[in-house]
Amino acid sequence: MPKVGIYCRLSIEDRDKSGGDDSVSIQNQKSMLRDYCRERNWEIYDIYVDDGYSGIDRSRPDFNRLLLDCENGNVDIVLCKDQSRFSRDTVVIEHFINDKFLEWGVRFIGIADNADTDSESYSTMRLFTSAYNEMYVKDISSKIRRTLAYKREQGQFIGSFAPYGYLIDPEDKHHLVLDEETAPVVRQMFNMYVRGDGYRKIVQNLNDRGVISPSEYKRQQGSKYVNRNADASNSQGKWTQSTIARILANEVYTGTLVQGKSHHISYKNKKRKKVEQADWVRVPHAHEAIIDQETWSRTQERLNSHVRVGKRSQELSPLSGKVKCAVCGRPMKRNVYYNKAKTIRYYNLQCATYKTGAMNCPNRTSISGLVLEQHILNELNTIVEQYCQSDEIHLTDIHSEQIKMLERRLSSIHERHRSAKERLVKMYKDKLDGVISDEDFCLFRQSLSDEENRLTEQITEVSQQINECRMRQENAKGQKALVEKYTHFDKLDRNIVDEFIELVEIGMPNENGEREIHIHWKL
């Protein structure tokens, strides 16, 4: 007596298409296949069921369990309602039904479409049937993608779970509404970050106050949401820095619905592929905002500056992420040190290229961070005093000086870029003339190519800075309102730096040992 493995499958698309018709249901499939075995006096070894899985999915749990039992010799016949229940993937059909099942001595039967590997006619019809089934899946997948794309463009939320701080509107599953319990937590996170607190301090604040983490909150609300990253970590339901980072970078809290950040590679491959940010679907004012636009802008500005808090102090350096070397364009790294009594904290800034040991930047001397802060503070107070003394004054002179300085730097970079190209051409001629060997040429060519690429990046960056500076020079609207909010600054803090300073560049010391300091104002 043959041992039969009954396999039943129902996808979400099949369930929707049936419109309530129970003819394709799992229960109906089981009943039909049991009766088929009973009439032939066949022994049912096991019943394998995958409910809610596509026929193109190769990771179906019971499907793979069935294959394992076939390979181990536990099943002699695989019985399905039809071939499409087994799989809609042509490659899978050929690999198992036409290859492995023959190797394992397993017979395949599909009742509704008369599929039977013991039948000579089936081998001819199998390819047509599997090709049709695969075309069906491809067509369904294409229709679903078009539908979802339309819903995204219309500003309809298509996610299964609402972001933390929101709920799915009970009257419209494609609309988000504020969660009055968690929205204030999100608002507090942004406010803490804007005023200078780091991820760690925000996490400590939330955990110390006993605020429930997003995953735990969803679980307590009865949601089926599963955070596999949280389950695999040691967070134990607590807030983590990665959770804070994701929330602070999510534009949904401004009322803008952002979707289409990733998609399946194909209708066969369900792995997700990231989409370029420019191709995301953004619909402003799709729902009520938790934070205002100014808070969002200041948050993203700080996130993009890659600032970090020192290990010995939770106080954020006001210039973090704002200072670069004027020679190579790399950031100036901070060195923190203390007096002998460990009571006074100092720090200096040094070019990252030299500090990391590259040794190819001549701007090696460090500069005192406190001296730099005081210099910037003096310059800022001078600007404010001059502006507040006259309603007629404009700040275009500052921009003009910045543009001149940037143009001089751009000219210098162009000259170095041209020199690198000329050296490469000369070296190639030396190789042809036999002055240097092919090995030496390859070695030097790589070095010059790297230098040329680095200088090209600097040309692009400085050119962009010049364009931005010219735009600020032409657009003087809001300058008076910005500066008149302040009368005098006694201390430089992060909020002042973010509002007034775009970038600070530190140049080489002159003959007197004084450093060139170029401040790019946002004014």
Q: Annotate 497-510 with DSSP letters as a single string.
A: HHHHEEEEEEEEE-
Range list for CATH 3.90.1750.20 in the chain: 166-304
Domain 3-152 indexed as CATH 3.40.50.1390: yes
> Quick one: CA dihedral 215, 220, 221, 223, positive or negative?
positive
Full 3-state SS string of 30-44: HHHHHHHHHHCCCEE
Nearest to 494 by CA among 245, 322, 312: 322
d(Cα 155, Cα 176) in Å, to the nearest integer?
11
Q: Name the token pair of 247.
A: 């929330």
CA 203 to CA 296: how far, in whole Å? 19
What is the distance between the alpha carbons of residues 28 and 82, in angstroms, rounded to a whole number? 13
* Other Cβ atoms closer than 10 A to 367: 19
Q: Which of 315, 327, 329, 328 is nearest to 373 (CA)?
A: 315
- The pLDDT value recorded for residue 198 is 82
Give the distance from CA 101 to its chain's centroid: 43
Tell me the CA distances in angstroms from 305 to 30, 292, 426, 460, one per residue in order. Answer: 60, 21, 41, 19
Long-range CB contact pairs, 31-38, < 8 A, 24+:
32/81, 32/111, 33/6, 33/8, 33/79, 33/80, 33/81, 33/111, 34/6, 36/79, 36/111, 37/4, 37/6, 37/79
User: Which alpha helices (H) appear in 154-240, and where do they start and end?
Assistant: 183-194, 199-208, 214-220, 228-232
> CA 98, CA 135: separation in Å to the nearest integer?
20
| Cα–Cα distance for residue pair 296/194, rounded to 1 Å | 9
Token output for 161: 């779970």
Q: Which of 250, 108, 244, 124 is nearest to 188 (CA)?
A: 244
Whole-number Å distance between alpha carbons of 176 and 188 = 20
Q: Which residues of the chain are in CATH 3.40.50.1390 domains?
A: 3-152
Cα–Cα distance for residue pair 323/270, rounded to 1 Å: 44
Q: Are 519 and 371 in contact (CB under 8 A)?
A: no
- CATH numeric code, 166-304: 3.90.1750.20
Phi then psi for residue 117, to 5 deg, are -70, -15
Nearest to 335, CA basis, from 352, 348, 346 = 348
Q: What is the pLDDT along the chain (523 residues), one digit of tens a residue?
A: 899 999 999 886 665 554 444 445 888 899 999 999 999 999 999 999 999 888 888 889 999 999 999 999 999 999 999 888 998 887 888 889 888 998 999 999 999 888 888 887 666 565 566 565 666 666 666 666 677 777 778 888 888 788 999 998 889 888 999 999 999 999 999 999 988 888 888 988 998 898 988 888 888 877 765 555 554 444 557 888 888 999 999 989 999 988 887 766 655 555 677 878 777 888 888 899 999 988 998 888 888 765 554 444 445 578 888 899 888 888 888 888 777 777 777 888 888 877 665 456 888 888 988 889 999 988 888 877 776 554 444 445 566 777 888 888 888 888 888 887 787 777 777 777 777 777 777 767 777 777 778 888 888 888 888 887 777 666 544 455 555 555 667 888 877 888 788 889 998 888 888 888 888 887 6
Q: What is the number of other CB atoms lying within 10 angstroms of the CB of residue 473? A: 18
| pLDDT in the model for residue 465 | 82
Dihedral class, residue 152 (left if φ above 0, else alpha if ψ from -120 to 50, else beta): alpha
Q: Single out the residue of 451, 352, 360, 466 nearest to residue 411, CA to CA.
A: 466
Instruction: Return the SS3 of 199.
Output: helix
Q: Which residues contact 320 (CB under 8 A, 6 or more apart)?
A: 305, 307, 308, 334, 494
pTM, entire model? 0.44
CB 88, CB 133: distance < 8 Å = yes
Distances (CA, A) of 294 to 109, 194, 300: 65, 10, 10
